[in-house]
Structure 1
Amino acid sequence: MRYAHILLAVAAEIWALDPQKLDQVVAFLALQAAGEKLPDDMVARITRQTEQAVARQEGTVAVLPLRGVIANRMNMMSDISGGTSSEGFGRLFDAAVVDDAVKAIILDVDSPGGAVSGTDELSGRIFAARGRKPIVAHVNATAASAAYWIATAADEMVLAPSAEVGSIGVYGVHDDLSGALEKMGVKKTIISAGEFKAEGNPFGPLSEEAIAHRQARVNAYNDQFIKTVARNRGVSQSAVREGFGKGRMVMAQAAIDAGMADSIATLDETIGRFVGAPPKRKLASAREKRALAL
């Protein structure tokens, strides 16, 4: 029953997540809810990593890991794929901002994205801290969807040579379980009050009105995503909508060329810029030109 409840929660959420990752999670939950045992190698690909990344300090540089599936509070997803709580990450970030011993902050990003809820708030929190000390998002090696939404809020985005960023867009899922239940001889009866209270339940297809309502929500969150990235990167919303991958992932050099990120370097090189010398706030020249143009 635990996996069945989580599956319903996943279906109710609006996601800014790499579609392949969500497909893996939903398939895992569906099989577990049905009582099937997955091969160990498949579980290893879907579930959390055994070694969890932790925040650390390199000299005067705070390195904060933004890893795995991102959700506002990780109680829903932590048992499946680990990941990061946007609420918890925000607290870590705030502590680094006010810590006088920290002269620069590096967001160590490797995430397929996550839930929409809490994502724009975290992005805004990071953006509001610009100017207090250098904030660099280092992508090693994936910043997809919600992760990119958040990472663009840093002063600067640096990509590992093999990194990919993008997957801009949001979506929801709905599972119609009525056919499977019918085969099992189960018929669900829903008793509710309120015209739309039981709308979207998994025991039948969505009505046209329900589909339109869900599409409107997805569109609204997608517009919010694009607006925030445009602000963070100092470009127009049309530039994000038409030139930032259109929902696809973009490889490192192509992302630099498109204005989605600023430079290419390893994490050690990025940390090395600040360790052992007074950190200097410096944006890439292309980024400066975009800001001046605006």
Structure 2
Amino acid sequence: MFSIIHILKPDPINRNIVVDGDFDDWLDVRSYTDPVDNIDGTVYQESPWFPSLKIPDCHDTDSQKQTDIPKHIYNPNVNIVEFKIAHDNSSLYVYYRVVDDGVIGKTSIGPGLFNESDPSKPSAGRFYIITTVNIDMNDTTGYWLHEGGYYPTAPGFDGNFEIEFYNGTFNQNYCLDHAANTTNENNYTREENIQNRFSFRRAYYDYYTEYVYWREKPTPDETKRCLDGPYELPAPYDNHYVCFSQDRAPGPFNGIITYARSAKGNELEMRAPFQGFLLNKDTGLPTLQLGMTVNISLSLETTEEYSIPQDWASDTTATIQYTLSSR
């Protein structure tokens, strides 16, 4: 059984990570393991908030209650077996490794969505690489993981860094601000984001803003395809832009989050600059900065095409308490 891991020793700053697909610079970074799932569904995790529940390591995303036990779904592409977290002065870095026969970001290619009535028909698959953060370490703000179908559950997650692959290729990278329970609250959060402010409120997973962040003006093609925006942020962050997006947006959108995969495909590293989480609306300071301690949970999630049985599949790691040490 695996559950939350508390790390009391501060995590040292690491200025040596280069996102280039060569993972030698991760060798000295603390490693965490996630159970190796099997096709029989006999590998489990647990949440310290609900320790009596045995959660299948890889599972569907249909369950959304705290005490639900999701259905086991086998998919090597999401079967995380190792992960690492690092940071430097300005960015968070995350390393994922899945089982040897898995490929992170692998999707099917087709003209439309998966059709349960005709599963052999080619379809446009999706794959999500998710880093979610309890930024304020307040379990009453943000959302519980299970609300999005992610288990083992934990509370208080305020923001996400994500990468989406769609229909066989990279589609976009973006940030989420989870600070709403209603459409009206979410509209208010959007207005705050346009002013470079990141919000903290009790949230339900389905209500969030999703935005691509650039530190320079997006390309004319990206600007044309942007669904809402792009909006230039106020000074002193002028020439920084956000575009509000959604799943399966008409990408690609190349914001500030970057990634690289191994040649084999079962390892991936990503860099998420702190600036993607804007400024804390209550303090006016960077929302994510050195000296903070946060909780971090990682997930991989994908559509039905390569799963057994054919259903959405997800694997979520234990929640890690991580300190953004300044030295």
TM-score bucket (shorter structure): under 0.3
The structure carrying a bigger helix percent of its residues is 1
TM-score normalized by the length of structure 2 = 0.23
Larger Rg: 1
The structure carrying a bigger strand percent of its residues is 2
TM-score normalized by the length of structure 1 = 0.25
